[in-house]
Structure 1
Amino acid sequence: MSAPRSSTHGSIRVPPPLHELEAEVMEAVWERGEASVREVMRALNAGTDRERAYTTIMTIMARLGGKGLLERRRQGKTDLYSPRYTRDQYADLRARAELDSIVDQFGELALAHIARQWAGLDPQRRRALQRLARET
């Protein structure tokens, strides 16, 4: 079964969820802003006994490009990849999509659980979350 493609949230394209190695690759690219396959491979292999092959990282980065998460540009003989979304933009879009999916699937029951969680928060945290909700 293939990985889910991006969906839309209103007019916004929602990026797909990341698998474990995809998440590691994205973290390496987010940290650098732009990176080659070799740079990402070195970052992921640093300080680990489980080295990943260049071709594995290249395949993952190409797939992330196909999923709309990475953009590629050519510099000489090297492909450089940069994230299409910031880490925060990605997290925001995924959180919205996941919550929408849960509410679609479980309806009022999901909302009741969210309300229960909200009621259990201390007032300072609720104010912080209200500010965050206004900003996003």
Structure 2
Amino acid sequence: MHSSFSLSPSLQLLLPRDRPASAPKFAMRTASKQAYICRDCGYIYNDKTPFEKLPDKYFCPVCGAPKRRFREYTPAVTKNANATDVRKARKAELQRDEAVGKALPIAIAVGVVALAGLYFYLNNTF
């Protein structure tokens, strides 16, 4: 395709040229850097292999807990994340969190019973 006038080389760069039928395809593989923590000992799994791809027979290398005892861990992982003292501190924190979660249904039940008792007390006195 030739035109009757000529363009400067810098302007020719701006004009579209014949394009290939399809653009080249690039594939990128992204790895999840999601860490998982063992609820029993505080060990953090943070390897290259995604946790979801591990077999169901995976066990914690520190305490031997099964894969189902791990949960997602969002805080940043430091270099000494699996040191004994750091793991013990995380384990204590996990136990406190789980204790609150276990006590919550009991607290709700006690609150409901107290409200029902208050309701019946107020309705019978007036």
Q: Give TM-score scaled by structure 2 length.
A: 0.30
| Structure 1 or 2: more strand by fraction | 1
Q: TM-score, normalised by structure 1?
A: 0.28
Higher normalized helix content (fraction of residues): 1
User: Could you say which structure has the larger radius of gyration?
Assistant: 2
